[in-house]
Structure 1
């Protein structure tokens, strides 16, 4: 007959399970409160995060200048000015060729629209001018009916752009202060914390900073890979503005989902108005293939190697972050997962038992050599 369950052991197991469940609930409540507070302070937290990302890009040059004896303020000022010049140069690299070929592109747009009308008028669609005019009238009527929602959308868009400009300005100022005083932060933090926290927190912060830098470098490498592959496809098809489109692809790689869609749409439109529908479809296929390889192969592999995370963890983190918090969630999911891994690895190191030292009077192993 099967042995009967021990009531004392069952009660002890239930108490242990209840205690573990209660502790887990407390942790979940604490995390929920922290996320709620983060959301309430997002207007300050988001520029801080962007400023940290920018600092990881510019810190190697600032550190080089520090080690050469430059004053911290001077080094931070020079690096900040150089960063702004690079940003302006990238904008000029995109805008100047586009402006110089704007007339040609405008003629291509008109010609493309005329080709689309001629194609729609022929078989199998056989859409006449009367039907096109009626469709345009219907569209105009719908636009007039929804003018209120359009005004709201425009106001929302202007507000979003304004908030983006404010965030960028704050991020640049924060980057300057991080470059100027960042090397003093960990010593200051050690002096402010009591007991063992004075050692543990600075160590975790230093490892987190290295992880954040690895994330930004890997993201830049992925963007460079996208720009090279897509630019090569555009060059083979003889699409104009190859260099500006490649630069735009690289820059947009730092904005998940929306950046890739925007850069791809611009490239397809330019290919359509300059080379025709066939080349535009080929460009679209090239962009889709490169983006799929980036999202499912290149990015997980490169970031997993740089951040110490498995490629599947990177892919799942991006998917979960995007489904919960959209674009910002996709951007922050991987560094957040990497920082959680940093904290967990440090806790595991501290909680694990140190290796046991062999006792002096212990019997030697049978296979060990006898000391002379």
Structure 2
């Protein structure tokens, strides 16, 4: 009995040390985990693009390569159609934004309340520069990009291989539930990416057309910026609107007024019409969860953390709901829009577990 007790204490001590070691490794290699999840997102996009080819009877590997080719063809076609025009407009925006920012700052200094507020705030231009420098220069943009793309192709070609590897980290009796939860989280990520992609395209086109009508310079580049920043929920629309508002401010009061109208109308359509329609087929996450995810990952990893905060929150939300809230705590919980399996019967053995012969 004494030997058994000592062995049990040693086993528990080793488990605690292993957990602490994994936690320390997670902190040390957090940036690597961000790159891994970025590869997962790209792999999900590639497999989503290959879905029509799988429906037409193409094999899994062939559909992945065809999906990648489709993405490259769409990007190449858009670059061929609009590349020269947008390149010039982005150059103009880059040249005009510093002047517009200084003009807005000088106007704000004329208001006593805003003057005292600005005197106590840091230089946002330098903050943005440091964030971009951290995101793209800490390890090397080209190296990170190639690493993510190559890893994404491996993940897209054989997702089951890596899912089985993750499942083996859990007890055998829980393997089927973990596999089902991972499948549900992958489905949720695919649906969220497709829904968000549609919203980004529509918002970008609306901003492009609206700013062109009211006569704002570089409307195409501003539309692209709004569409891309719309990938970030909640705060993305405000980030995307800032360059357009600053440039309109330098063109005069009328341009500023109509520019604000364009952004407000586009975002109201997105928030009250597009998102409710599209999110019926995707996972809906409580806004507070997204806000905390954006704040936490943004403070830890800057630009990259803000970009992947929402899709990471989608995956973790599904996993926590299915594995912890439902299967472990036993609450009646489900994820909207996901074909998740029913909760296990407490009186029945787990799938994959050992059954006693009768």
TM over 0.5: yes
Q: CA deviation at 1:350?
A: 1.7
Aligned to 2:258: 282
* Alpha-carbon distance between aligned partners in 1 of 2:198 and 2:187, rounded to the nearest angstrom: 17
Aligned to 1:364: none
Deviations 1:26-54 (A, max 9, x none): xxx99998665433222321122112222
Pair 1:345 & 2:329 matched: no
2:229 aligns with one of 231, 235, 252: 252
- Shift of the 158–49 alpha-carbon distance from structure 1 to 2, 3 Å rule, reads same
Long gaps (5+) in structure 1: 1-28, 126-145, 355-372
- Shift of the 157–246 alpha-carbon distance from structure 1 to 2, 3 Å rule, reads closer
- 2:195–2:279: 8 Å Cα contact kept in structure 1? no
2:46 aligns with one of 44, 58, 75: 58
- Of stretches 154-163 and 38-47 in structure 1, the one that deviates more from structure 2 is 154-163
* Alpha-carbon distance between aligned partners in 1 of 2:49 and 2:172, rounded to the nearest angstrom: 35
Deviations 1:64-115 (A, max 9, x none): 4456565655543343343234345555666421445689x59x969x98xx
Q: CA deviation at 1:209?
A: 0.9
* Alpha-carbon distance between aligned partners in 2 of 1:53 and 1:323, rounded to the nearest angstrom: 20
* Alpha-carbon distance between aligned partners in 2 of 1:31 and 1:43, rounded to the nearest angstrom: 19
- 1:47–1:168: 8 Å Cα contact kept in structure 2? no
Long gaps (5+) in structure 2: 1-16, 111-122, 331-342, 349-358
- 2:189–2:315: 8 Å Cα contact kept in structure 1? yes
The TM-score, its normalising length taken from structure 2, stands at: 0.61
Pair 1:263 & 2:240 matched: yes
Aligned to 2:297: 325
Higher RCO, 1 vs 2 (CA within 8 Å, ≥6 residues apart): 2
2:68 aligns with one of 66, 80, 84: 80
Aligned to 2:136: 161
* Alpha-carbon distance between aligned partners in 1 of 2:275 and 2:174, rounded to the nearest angstrom: 34
- Of stretches 278-287 and 191-200 in structure 1, the one that deviates more from structure 2 is 191-200
Aligned to 1:131: none
Aligned to 1:195: 172
* Alpha-carbon distance between aligned partners in 1 of 2:260 and 2:226, rounded to the nearest angstrom: 14
Q: CA deviation at 1:199?
A: 1.9
Q: CA deviation at 1:167?
A: 3.2
Aligned to 1:368: none
- Shift of the 47–93 alpha-carbon distance from structure 1 to 2, 3 Å rule, reads farther
Alignment size in residue pairs:
287
Q: Which structure has the larger Rg?
A: 1
Aligned to 1:42: 30
SS of 2:172's equivalent?
A: coil
* Alpha-carbon distance between aligned partners in 1 of 2:168 and 2:32, rounded to the nearest angstrom: 25
- 2:46–2:64: 8 Å Cα contact kept in structure 1? no
* Alpha-carbon distance between aligned partners in 1 of 2:279 and 2:86, rounded to the nearest angstrom: 37
Q: CA deviation at 1:173?
A: 1.3
Within 5 Å, give how 1:219-258 maps onto structure 2.
Answer: 219-256=196-233
